[in-house]
Chain A
Amino acid sequence: MDQLTASLIFVGMLFALLGSGVWVGLSLIGVAFVGIELIEGRAAGGAMINTIWGASSSWTLTALPLFIWMGEILFRTRLSQDMFRGLAPWVQRLPGGLVHTNIVGCTVFAAVSGSSAATLTTVGRMSIPELRARQYPENLVIGTLAGAATLGLMIPPSLTLIVYGVSINESIRELFIAGTIPGLVLALLFMIYTGANALLSKNWNPRVDAPMSLKEKLVNSRFLLPVIALIVLVIGSMYAGIATATEAAAFGVVGALVLAAVQGSLSVKAFKDSLMGAVRTSAMIALILAGAAFLSLAMGYTGLPRALADGIATLELSRFELLMALLVFYIILGCFLDGISSVVLTMAIVEPMIRDAGINVIWFGIFVTVVIEMAQITPPIGFNLFVMQGLTKHSMSYIAKAALPMFGIMVAMAFLLIAFPEIATWLPDVLRPTPGG
């Protein structure tokens, strides 16, 4: 069978299965089965189990449930309540005022959790009613929150980056380090937008709280400081090179448990709920990864990724053109799939392409993450839109419209990354243990 037919069958089956509502992980296994049994005419079972067992019992993957658990523990602490109170006095005076609590709050929570839904809920639970009570414009409140919550995907610990690292066999620690500065730059862009919006808007007239003294500010943020200490511990141990991503995750779990215990929010129920939450999310991602490992194997048999990479090479696209094509491709894919699925689904094909084009794979991981962040807020399937809808009961189209400027900012961020790749590559280069490596 020639490769064009084979690839058409692959893509067609994949869309049919995914589109008809079959679970993502199982769709991938199904497509791979057809690829090996029908297209290649081999028995698929043995190869499948070997591959999936190898992929599922990998040491690198262990960072995943631990980081999820850490986020789940902190999600159940008083953090949500303290976040707004602790941050508000510090950002009050900036143009844009308390809307910045959304962005800074998301940035802080993103640094302890890899999930953007958890980030959105934790920050939004408190900040939405408080900001409404002070008459901040609703669309700005909703938009910045939906946008900034996607930082959960970028700022380490990031589940997307773990999945990306596992898929292409690159160091998760290095990806985490690379994600830090782009995450902060993106947060800064959101803040600049908010500030500009406040300065330019004619009806900007929120209620202003009485200013606080430095002592009052510190008292108000006393519960936030331990969380920041935890972030420093987890991320710092990776930066200093004394811990791998998994080890840092284990520290994070212990630290989060201690923090919750000290706050008095570590009941037996909270402990169990957080652990079972971690079981569910981690199993969900593991199923997708298992399917993707098998699909990669099947595609490897057909030689499709290689042929496609060679085909792309003969087109002699410039790097920029290739990246633009991928940008559009991922945005469209992101309209229908969640970020983690779109990464694992495409990596078998995209990886040889970018390696051939001489694109730094660590950098590309960050680039893809920005694009996937966009997918979180694009209708009809945008994770954050759903969560936001559950939280605020606004209509989907209203939320999507409110988040549109954030989408624009993320597109700008993607171009910034292309223009200045150092945003992502500088820090890992500096912190790499062996110089010149």
Chain B
Amino acid sequence: MIRKGLDALYAACGAIAALAILAIVSLILLQVAARAFDFPFRGGPDYAGYAMASASFFGFAYALQHGAHIRVSLLLSVLGKHRFWGEVWCYGFAAVLSSWFAYHACLFTYQTWRFKDVSSGLDATPLWIPQVSMAIGSVVFAIAFIDNFVSLFVTGEARVKGGELETPPEADLSPNASTAAKGE
């Protein structure tokens, strides 16, 4: 139940991040069109910047769950059967740090809302609106680390697969497979 809920949460954040990237494309095309056909469209770069922040912060947890964040795993793989403790350190550290970050992201957004900070750019957006994406995204990121940290002790391994490097592509081109290619 909790498991399903958390996975859905990460996926939902990933989807929001994807929408944010679509928003960037639309905003930029709109801006180009505004310049070409000479109609007013103010603050395009600022809006695109906010969408960029949303794409990043909402994407963090989703990327973590798919092992996309880069780490140096050389030492971890040397640890062999003691790797568990290495992972405990990594996820523990990350859980604490990301929680601290999430706390400050929320505090910051709250303060911009309270003091009614407005963007100094042409868009004059109340800044707390785009900053909510940072607050939510970083909270979910922290949840994802805590989730993995707990999973470590429950199941003996983190839920994140890979994370060492980009997952190698599925195509099998091992030397043995090449005999098949020759036969073509």
Q: Are B131 and A53 in contact (CB under 8 A)?
A: yes
In the complex, identify which listed stretch (A16-24, A315-323, A428-436) lies at the interface while the others stay far away.
Answer: A16-24
Interface centre among A45, A278, A284 (most CB of B within 10 A): A284
A30 and B21 contacting across the interface, CB-CB below 8 Å: no
Give the docked Cα–Cα distance between A278 and B56 (Å): 11
- Interface flag for A46 (CB, 8 Å): yes
Which residues of the partner chain B approach A290 to less than 8 Å between Cβ atoms? 56
With an 8 Å Cβ cutoff, the count of chain B residues facing the other chain is 71
A66 with B25: CB separation less than 8 A: yes
Once the chains are docked, how many angstroms separate the CA of A324 from the CA of B65?
40
A-B contacts, CB under 8 A, total: 224
CB pair B72 A275 closer than 8 Å:
no
Residue-wise interface mask of A (313-350) relative to B, using a CB-CB cutoff of 8 A (1 in contact, 0 not): 00000000000000000000000111001000000000
In the complex the two chains form, what is the Cα distance from A121 to B51 in whole Å?
A: 30
CB-contact partner of A383 in B25, B55, B165, B171, under 8 A: B165
Instruction: Tell whether B155 is near chain A: CB-to-CB under 8 Å.
Output: no
Given A48-B104, A132-B182, A279-B55, are A26 and B98 also a contact pair (CB < 8 Å)?
yes
Least Cβ–Cβ distance between B173 and chain A, in angstroms: 5
- Measured between beta carbons, the chain A residues less than 8 angstroms from B86 are 20-21
B150 smallest CB distance to A (angstroms): 18
Q: Which residues of A contact B57 (CB under 8 A)?
A: 56
Given contacts A247-B32, A383-B165, A387-B168, contact A280 B68 (CB under 8 A): yes
Residues in A neighbouring B71, C-beta threshold 8 A: 21-24
Q: What secondary structure prevails in chain B residues at the interface with A?
A: helix
- Per the 8 Å Cβ criterion, residues 41-91 of B in contact with A are 45-46, 48-53, 55-57, 59-60, 62-63, 66, 68-76, 86-87, 89-90
CA of A121 to CA of B131, assembled, Å: 38
Residues of B within 8 A of A337 (CB): 72
Please give, as numbers and ranges, the residues of chain A lying within 8 Å of B163 by CB-CB distance: 23
Q: Mark B86-105, 1 if CB is under 8 A from A, else 0.
A: 11011001100110110111
| CB pair B49 A59 closer than 8 Å | yes
Interface hits, A132-159 → B, CB 8 Å: 132-133, 138
Q: For residue B104, which residues in chain A have a CB less than 8 angstroms away from its CB?
A: 45-46, 48-49
Name the B residues within 8 Å of A246 (CB-CB). Answer: 28, 48
**Distance in Å: Cβ of B178 to nearest Cβ of chain A:** 4
Is A338's CB under 8 angstroms from B50's CB?
no
A121–B21 Cα distance when bound, in Å, is: 24
A353-409 at interface with B (beta carbon < 8 Å): 380-381, 383, 386-387, 389-394
- Residue in B25, B62, B97, B130 whose Cβ sees the most chain A Cβ within 10 Å: B25
B50 contact set on A, CB distance < 8 A: 57
Closest CB-CB distance, B43 to chain A, in whole Å?
Answer: 11
Q: Is the CB of A57 within 8 A of B165?
A: no
When the two chains form the complex, which single residue of B28, B29, B89, B177 contacts A62, counting CB atoms closer than 8 Å?
Answer: B28
Contact status A69-B21, CB under 8 Å: yes
B164-184 CB mask vs A (1 if < 8 Å, else 0) is 111111011111011001101
Give the contact stretch, choosing among A122-130, A175-183, A219-227. Answer: A122-130
Q: Which of A225-257 contact B (CB under 8 A)?
A: 243, 246-247, 249-250, 253-254
The reply to whether B21 and A23 contact each other, CB–CB distance below 8 Å, is: no
- Contact (Cβ within 8 A) A53 B97: no
CA–CA, A172 and B55, complex, Å: 20
Choose from B17, B49, B97, B178 the contact partner of A58 (Cβ within 8 Å).
B49
B107 beta carbon closer than 8 Å to chain A: yes
The verdict on B124 contacting chain A, using a C-beta distance below 8 Å, is no
The reply to whether B166 and A250 form a contact with Cβ atoms under 8 Å apart is: no
Contact at A65–B108, with CB atoms within 8 Å?
no
**Is B134 an interface residue when CB atoms closer than 8 A count as contact?**
yes
- A121-B169, A250-B28, A390-B169 known; A281+B68 contact, CB < 8 A: yes
Find chain A residues with CB under 8 A from B107 CB.
45, 49
Say yes or no: A283 contacts B178, CB within 8 Å: no
Q: Evaluate contact between B49 and A133: CB separation under 8 angstroms.
A: no
Beyond A254-B29, A279-B21, A390-B168, whether A380 also contacts B74 by CB under 8 A is: yes
Residues of B within 8 A of A295 (CB): none
A25, A61, A117, A275: the one contacting B21 at CB < 8 Å is: A275
A138 cross-chain contacts in B, Cβ below 8 A: 175
B residues 130-184 touching A (CB-CB < 8 Å): 130-131, 134, 163-169, 171-175, 177-178, 181-182, 184
> How far apart are A268's CB and chain B's nearest CB, in angstroms?
13
Residues of A within 8 A of B28 (CB): 62, 66, 246-247, 249-250
CB of B75 within 8 A of CB of A287, answer no
Q: In the complex, which residues of chain A have a beta carbon less than 8 angstroms from the beta carbon of B182?
A: 132-133
Cα–Cα, bound, A33→B94 (Å): 13
- Min C-beta distance of A55 to chain B, whole Å: 9
Most buried by B among A20, A48, A64: A20
- The answer, yes or no, to whether A196 is at the interface (CB within 8 Å) is no
Task: Decide: B173 and A393 in contact? CB cutoff 8 A.
Answer: yes
Interface residues, chain B, with chain A CB atoms under 8 Å away = 14, 17-18, 21-22, 24-25, 28-29, 31-32, 45-46, 48-53, 55-57, 59-60, 62-63, 66, 68-76, 86-87, 89-90, 93-94, 97-98, 100-101, 103-105, 107-108, 130-131, 134, 163-169, 171-175, 177-178, 181-182, 184
Q: Given A59-B49, A276-B14, A392-B173, list of 8 further CB < 8 A pairs?
A: A21-B76, A26-B98, A46-B108, A117-B166, A125-B169, A132-B178, A249-B28, A275-B18
Closest 6 pairs (CB-CB, A-B): A390-B168, A283-B59, A393-B174, A286-B56, A129-B181, A280-B68
